[in-house]
Structure 1
Amino acid sequence: MTESAAHRESLPLDSTAQLLTRITAELGTRLSHVSLNGSRRHMTPPTLVAVAHGSRDPGALRTVTTLLERVRELRPGLDIRLGHIELNAPLLPDTLAGLGRGDAVLVPLLLGRGHHVKHDLPLAATTAPHLRTRIAAPLGPHPLLVETLYARLTEAGWTDADGADRGSGVVLAAAGSRDPDSAADTRSTAALLSERLGGVPVLAAYASAASPTVPQALRALAARGRHRAAVASYFTAPGRFATQSAAAAPWLATAPLGAHAAMARLVLLRYDQALATRPAIPLRELATA
């Protein structure tokens, strides 16, 4: 059994979704080592390029760096690089330019479909014609994100008693996007988190570009008698929006998702899924995406 498989075997079987997650990840790992004619490949696996948004908060770069260290521990020998969409070095085009000819999988450390995933990543890939590039799905929605959110709530002081309290509720605070797919992904995560919390109401809210805002969602919960409201930070790393959202919390506020072990597993899962299901995109298609 591979080391990554051993880590997955240590996870509790909380749901069918998590079981399917493990099966998909293992299948992706095995397929990445097998050629189309069934023979075993002896080539270097594609580089995993983790794509972070970037932030002026110095904690963001530290958090993402720590997260990728955990990913490297799970998959020793895999070439893992970091590129930012903006604000921090290295920028994604610079990271891609520094890679030799071959294959790369861009794994967005973003939590839903939106402009960055649909447009910025394909555009950046066009700057590296020497690479055969795959673009993985964003991290969310996924049960592993929900497990991270639950862990962060517990760290902040949430207990089973709070889950049973009819006066409790949660606001899932996300960055926000004008893309309706991004909002739909956040709402899906809110529904999964509500299920994980035993039916506690979880309202999606946004720091920008979409509504409701975090204060509006908190008022909506209060109108339903849910005055003990926690704000769950649905951000990969610290930043202005995460700080702003936490400051609105009347009770508990969680830390960002960060370098949790489940996040590291999810990064590798998206990488493996891209290898198993997404062919490398020819440059001419990227240019018109």
Structure 2
Amino acid sequence: MSAGEPPVLLAAVHGTRDPAGMAQLHRLLGLVRRQRPQLTVTHGCLGPAAPTLAEALARASGPVVVVPVLLGPGYHLRVDIPGVLRRAGRPHVRTARALGPDPLLAEALAGRLHQAGLRSPDPATGVVLAAAGSTDPAAAPATRRLARLLGARLGTPVSTAFLGGPAPRPAEAVSRLRRAGRERVALAPCLLAPGDFARRAAGCGADITGAPLGAHPAVARLILRRYDEALACPESGRGPLPELIIR
């Protein structure tokens, strides 16, 4: 990296064996590059795909900002990413916070629901936000906060469900809304890419199911927002970074 170049944005993604899922992640990072063309954007995987986060970190020269492309708190954010950085021994690495909850995620979730056919919600339509789920105690409250943000954007209350970890499961949440008198139910999967969780969400019995967030422009803007926040916050890293204003 030459003098004056911004630190590398290293996206820490979950990764998947599903080729369609990895293709979506690559398209998302392509949007990030187009929104900030002077920025070097690369990625490392926390799950079953290459390159690993450790490999990507080893290839990145100079200052780095790791942006967890994760939709909320969990084990990867609390344990895996700090462990990789500790073992790497890199002095100039900052770590951003998770993407969610955030109004930009609510914007993307609402957009996917509208693309799937949801119109302005009415008293006959219920909405469920389905997250992957985690045993991390901060995960469920973060999902409920995101549900409130989505509800404010849609103009209707949004229930929460989890594909793993805590209850209820999406099918149960859909059934509850039907028993409560909702004629239609829309499901918003809080997932980035196609894969097993997305297939399970699609089979929960909702009338409308949004697609995974994937390469949504609002998600790309959010990744850059987390990058900029990490640069601006001296507590976000393990050492000093050059004083840069990133536009």
Question: TM-score, with normalisation over the residues of structure 1?
Answer: 0.79
Query: Is 1:50 equivalent to 2:3 in the alignment?
Result: no
Which residue number corresponds to residue 209 of structure 1?
165
> How do residues 221-236 of structure 1 correspond to structure 2 at under 5 angstroms?
221-236=177-192
Matched to 1:228, the amino acid is: R
Which residue number corresponds to residue 93 of structure 1?
54
Q: Is the 8 A contact 2:191 2:213 kept in 1?
A: yes
Q: Is the 8 A contact 1:51 1:85 kept in 2?
A: yes
Q: Is the 8 A contact 1:230 1:249 kept in 2?
A: no
Which residue number corresponds to residue 67 of structure 2?
107
Counterpart pick for 1:126 among 86, 92, 104: 86
Which residue number corresponds to residue 13 of structure 1?
none
Cα deviation code 1:162-195 (max 9, x no counterpart): x12x121111111000112111111111111111
Q: Unpaired segments of 5 or more residues in structure 1?
A: 1-41, 283-289
Matched to 1:66, the amino acid is: R
Identity %: 43
Question: TM-score, with normalisation over the residues of structure 2?
Answer: 0.92
Which residue number corresponds to residue 152 of structure 1?
112
Distance in 2 of aligned mates of 1:218 and 1:278? 44
Note the C-alpha offset of 1:113.
1.0
Distance in 2 of aligned mates of 1:158 and 1:203? 16
Query: Is 1:196 equivalent to 2:153 in the alignment?
Result: yes
Which residue number corresponds to residue 238 of structure 1?
194
Larger Rg: 1
What is the aligned-residue RMSD (CA, Å)? 1.3
Which residue number corresponds to residue 73 of structure 1?
34
Note the C-alpha offset of 1:250.
2.8
What SS is found at the alignment partner of 1:275? helix
Distance in 1 of aligned mates of 2:54 and 2:224? 22
Please state which structure has a larger fraction of its residues in helix: 1
Note the C-alpha offset of 1:61.
0.7
Distance in 2 of aligned mates of 1:219 and 1:247? 13
Distance in 1 of aligned mates of 2:90 and 2:77? 21
Q: Is the 8 A contact 2:67 2:96 kept in 1?
A: yes
Which residue number corresponds to residue 39 of structure 1?
none
Distance in 2 of aligned mates of 1:208 and 1:108? 20
Q: Which runs of 4+ in 1 moved over 4 A?
A: none
Which residue number corresponds to residue 263 of structure 1?
219
What SS is found at the alignment partner of 1:179? coil
What SS is found at the alignment partner of 2:54? helix
Q: Is the 8 A contact 1:104 1:131 kept in 2?
A: no
Matched to 1:194, the amino acid is: G
Distance in 2 of aligned mates of 1:250 and 1:114? 27
Counterpart pick for 1:174 among 131, 141, 144: 131
The number of residues matched between the two structures is 236
Q: Is the 8 A contact 2:91 2:238 kept in 1?
A: no
What SS is found at the alignment partner of 1:82? strand
Query: Is 1:247 equivalent to 2:203 in the alignment?
Result: yes
What SS is found at the alignment partner of 1:110? coil
Distance in 2 of aligned mates of 1:278 and 1:137? 13
Note the C-alpha offset of 1:131.
4.4
Distance in 2 of aligned mates of 1:174 and 1:55? 17
Q: Is the 8 A contact 1:49 1:105 kept in 2?
A: yes
Q: Is the 8 A contact 2:163 2:169 kept in 1?
A: yes
Which residue number corresponds to residue 62 of structure 1?
23
Distance in 1 of aligned mates of 2:56 and 2:14? 14
Which residue number corresponds to residue 274 of structure 1?
230
Q: Unpaired segments of 5 or more residues in structure 2?
A: 240-247
Q: Is the 8 A contact 2:133 2:140 kept in 1?
A: yes
